[in-house]
Amino acid sequence: MGRLFGTDGVRGLANRDLTAELALDLAVAAAHVLGESGQLRTHDGGRPRAIVGRDPRASGEFLEAAVVAGLASAGVDVIRVGVLPTPAISWLTDMHDADLGVMLSASHNPMPDNGIKFFARGGHKLADEIEDRIEARLDEPWDRPVGAAVGRITDLNDAAAEYAAHLVSTLPNRLDGLLVVVDGANGAASYVGPLAYRLAGAEVIEIHCSPDGLNINENCGSTHLGDLQRAVIEHGAHAGFGHDGDADRCLAVDAAGQIVDGDQLLALLALALRDRGELANDTVVATVMANLGFRHAMSQAGIAVVETAVGDRYVLEEMRRDGHILGGEQSGHIVMGRHANTGDGVLTALHTLARMAEVNASLAEVAGVMTRLPQVLINVPGVDKSRVESDPVVQGAVLEAATALGSSGRVLLRPSGTEPVVRVMVEAVDAAQAEQVAQDLAQTVATALAL
């Protein structure tokens, strides 16, 4: 059996893989492990404190009940905050001096899935070692508290307003005069996202902001931007933003309906911070998949780029290790470290709009700080991914391709972390060249590394 925790908590088909029983057991085990490691303290009432939130999925209702029951039965006081984005749970965990945060969401996954993500004190993700200890403690017998030692459950009814006010307080300037379309993916940002944009001064048009528990991510949000593109053009909006189910990321659409991806958002935010003298170390953190055009733009601006493996947790680790305050991924998962401990799609959108207002420019203009080079990605299945680095035929083909592309292109071969697949990525100034080089490399990998 594989590891229960993935790169972003525990996920699976709700009520089949992720059951109420498992959710309860995970909550109890987390309380025990964190308590024994000294990460749970006593507050008023003599018990630890946890924040619990969720996205609008129907299954989140019974999973929330199970998690809350597990924590309270283990002697933890629980503050329920209802439907809010993942980054809101991280922030509220910190702001309310809680010892543990729990978010129930499967992010951009289809509605039938769900997930459980834990945050430690301060709103930080749990270390792998702590997750492994929690998994090892499932189903163990334990001494249950009784009487006044059991946890109490309360609701924080103004959590959305509190979080929205925090987001707006981070802005360098207001957004008055800007018209923005927001696609909430019928997810966790459907209420608090439009609320924050309006508090900051923007005029807001909402689409897919009517969650019913079943329609989350359904042909909408950051993974399906067609409706957002049409709405921006129809309403003559200055910009549009599409969130995913738990709103820890966003992608944008400019006034002409063109998509602005995470690399472009990261680039314009880096320049905004640098221009205000706020970009720590004049450095931004990005993954190996960041577009070569992003690297060129940062180099021209005198901003260093620190590269990590794909995954927001690796971006976060690098930022925390060396004190960097900005990092992100092409998917639109961007971390603004002075204001959040995780990616925050609403925060990203607000600061993008603030940059537009600050310099009185369109989204296309501020995103134009980088030229996105054509990027071709091909997945090659059924191969021995462990031999990518050592196979002489493959490495010879990579060297030949890189030499042909020169400094205006890039080749990256990346083994999948979960399946027998090698991802071939090629960037070049010419789209046809990028496609041809990628196809040739993919054929070489398929032949040389065939299982």
The string of DSSP codes covering 81-101 is EEE--HHHHHHHHHHTT-SEE
Provide CATH 3.40.120.10 ranges for the chain: 10-157, 162-367
Does domain 162-367 bear CATH number 3.40.640.10?
A: no
**Is pLDDT of 1 > 50?**
no
Give Cα 263 to chain centroid, integer Å. 14
Provide CATH 3.30.310.50 ranges for the chain: 375-448
Residues with a known catalytic role: 107
- Residue 8 near residue 115 (C-beta atoms within 8 A): yes
Q: What is the CA radius of gyration of the chain?
A: 23
**Is pLDDT of 198 > 90?**
yes
**Is pLDDT of 239 > 50?**
yes
- Residue 76 near residue 46 (C-beta atoms within 8 A): no
CA atoms within 13 A on the CB side of 28: 22
Render 115-168 in DSSP notation, one character per residue.
EEEEEETTTEEPPHHHHHHHHHTTT-------GGGS--EEE-TTHHHHHHHHHH
Q: Which residues contact 73 (CB under 8 A, 6 or more apart)?
A: 28, 144, 145, 150, 151
Tokens 């601006």 map to which residue? 301
- Convert the pLDDT of each residue in 138-174 to its tens digit: 999 999 999 999 999 999 999 999 999 999 999 999 9
How much is the pTM? 0.93
Q: Please, what's the largest Cα pairwise distance for the chain?
A: 73
Q: How far apart are CA 437 and CA 443, in angstroms?
A: 10
| The CATH number, out of the four listed (2.40.30.10, 2.60.120.920, 3.40.50.620, 3.30.310.50), of the domain defined by the range 375-448 | 3.30.310.50
Residue 68 token pair: 């809350």
Report the CATH architecture of 10-157.
3-Layer(aba) Sandwich (3.40)
- Convert the pLDDT of each residue in 413-426 to its tens digit: 988 876 789 999 99
